[in-house]
């Protein structure tokens, strides 16, 4: 197929609203990037964090994430801004801006070999929205600031590097205030309680304490596209669905919510003796976090289905757009 979309796909695009076309374009771009990047399936995946919820220290903001292997990372671009480091010319002789900075003769003596090695190897990860990002483990920011301040104390910094040192001092002071809380947690043993409580907090954010009134959360377009890809006859007036639709809904929608949410939904909304649930799972999701996440996942999944010509092509694009740890999307046929 020489064009991005088949004739049928183009015809469907013409019938869509502008918002729906934007969703399709976004999903298509995500899938094309994934296909062009065969290593994407091996990247770590951020399971917590968002661009609109950065780490704030004074007037500085650094996008931060927690990866699926529990590493806490800060984006390289955010660290550059926080440290008042020039962003232009970020690559010189194959080095990123931080590599170049720590290789300078005035700073290099204060940089350990271990820190230099980690700076040379940034973490490539996938954000919750599917984008690719570059970052460092959060501890690197502290170690780098300490090195800059040591160089300033020794009086070896150039004039243009003093503004970076000033930012480093502000960062260290701000982090010290936050760090004392973590130290008290560790000394008192509360750290373990906090760790055990992490899943509870996630479920508390996603699962409503009271049953929500029924509202249609799954748009007809979600089922219409699923039926089209399977070549099933679709009747918008009928609520009858093949049994496998429930399995698909769990796989492509509910399982994309944080780990543990679907298990908790199954617990609070069990099947009866006839294998039926009293209410819909989404009626137990919170309006503030749970249902908005559900609706974003529905929109993204429906957009991917719209640009697919059949179910196997949808599965390939979905796996690339929402890779899971252990997926081997490079083995999927084109």
pLDDT tens digits for 238-272? 878 888 999 999 999 999 998 889 999 999 999 88
More confident residue, 141 or 88: 141
Mean pLDDT throughout 23-28? 54
Q: How confident is the model at residue 175 (pLDDT cuts 50, 70, 90)?
A: confident
3-state secondary structure the chain: CCCCCCHHHHHHHHHCCHHHHHHHHHHHHHHHHHHHCCCHHHCEEEEECCCCCCEEECCEEECEEEECCCCEEEEHHHHHHHCCCCCCCCCECCECHHHHHHCCCCCHHHCCHHHHHHHHCCEEEECCCCCEEEEEEHHHHHHHHHHHHHHHHCCCCCHHHHHHHHHHHHHHHHHHHHHHHHHHHHHHCHHHHHHHHHHHHHHHHHECCCCCCCCCCCCHHHHHHHHHHHCCCCCCCCCCCCCHHHHHHHHHCHHHCCCCHHHHHHHHCCECCCCCECCCHHHHECCCCHHHHHHHHHHHHHHHHHHCCCHHHHHHHHHHHCCCCCCCHHHCCC
Cα–Cα distance, 125 to 67 (Å, whole number)? 8
pLDDT tens digits for 157-170? 998 899 999 999 99
Mean pLDDT throughout 129-134? 86
Cα–Cα distance, 43 to 14 (Å, whole number)? 36
Q: How confident is the model at residue 233 (pLDDT cuts 50, 70, 90)?
A: very high
- Candidates 252, 235, 310, 246; CA nearest to 281 is 246
Cα–Cα distance, 185 to 150 (Å, whole number)? 29
Cα–Cα distance, 134 to 248 (Å, whole number)? 32
Cα–Cα distance, 308 to 228 (Å, whole number)? 10
**pLDDT at residue 1 tops 60:** no
pLDDT value, residue 27:
55
Most confident of 54-68, 90-104, 222-236: 222-236
* Residue 175 CB-density burial (10 A; 0-12 exposed, 13-18 middle, 19+ buried): middle
pLDDT value, residue 249:
93
Mean pLDDT throughout 18-45? 61
Cα–Cα distance, 334 to 322 (Å, whole number)? 17
Percentage of residues of the chain with pLDDT beyond 70:
74
Q: How confident is the model at residue 9 (pLDDT cuts 50, 70, 90)?
A: low
282 is written with which tokens? Answer: 């989404």
Mean pLDDT throughout 266-288? 88
pLDDT tens digits for 144-155? 999 999 999 999
pLDDT tens digits for 308-324? 999 999 999 998 888 76
Q: How confident is the model at residue 58 (pLDDT cuts 50, 70, 90)?
A: confident
**Structure pTM?**
0.49
C-alpha of 88 from chain center: 27
7 is written with which tokens? Answer: 């004739």
Cα–Cα distance, 128 to 30 (Å, whole number)? 12
6 is written with which tokens? Answer: 């088949």
Most confident of 187-196, 207-216, 221-230: 221-230
């Amino acid at each position: 197929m020489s064009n991005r979309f088949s004739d049928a796909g183009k015809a469907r695009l013409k019938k869509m609203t502008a918002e729906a076309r934007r969703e399709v374009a976004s999903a298509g771009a995500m899938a094309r990037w994934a296909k062009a990047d065969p290593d994407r399936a091996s990247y770590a995946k951020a399971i917590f964090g968002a661009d609109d919820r950065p780490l704030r220290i004074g007037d500085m903001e650094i996008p931060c994430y927690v990866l699926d292997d529990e590493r806490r990372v800060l984006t390289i671009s955010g660290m550059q801004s926080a440290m008042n480091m020039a962003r232009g010319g970020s690559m010189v002789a194959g080095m990123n801006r931080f590599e170049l900075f720590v290789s300078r003769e005035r700073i290099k003596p204060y940089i350990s070999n271990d820190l230099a090695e980690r700076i040379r190897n940034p973490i490539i990860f996938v954000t919750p929205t599917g984008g690719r990002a570059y970052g460092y483990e959060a501890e690197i920011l502290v170690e780098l600031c300490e090195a800059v301040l040591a160089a300033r104390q020794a009086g070896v910094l150039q004039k243009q590097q003093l503004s970076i040192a000033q930012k480093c001092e502000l960062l260290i002071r701000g982090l010290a205030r936050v760090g004392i809380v973590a130290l008290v947690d560790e000394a008192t043993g509360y750290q373990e309680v906090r760790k055990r409580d992490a899943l509870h907090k996630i479920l508390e954010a996603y699962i409503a304490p009271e049953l929500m009134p029924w509202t249609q959360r799954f748009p007809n377009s979600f089922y219409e596209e699923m039926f089209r890809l399977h070549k099933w006859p679709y009747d918008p007036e009928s609520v009858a669905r093949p049994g496998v639709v429930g399995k698909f809904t769990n796989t492509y929608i509910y399982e994309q919510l944080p780990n543990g949410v679907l298990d908790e939904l199954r617990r609070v909304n069990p099947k009866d003796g006839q294998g039926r649930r009293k209410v819909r799972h989404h009626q137990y999701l919170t309006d503030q976090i749970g249902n908005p996440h559900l609706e974003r996942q529905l929109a993204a999944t429906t957009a991917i289905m719209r640009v697919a010509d059949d179910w196997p092509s949808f599965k390939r694009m979905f796996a690339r757009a929402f890779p899971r740890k252990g997926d081997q999307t490079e083995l999927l046929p084109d």
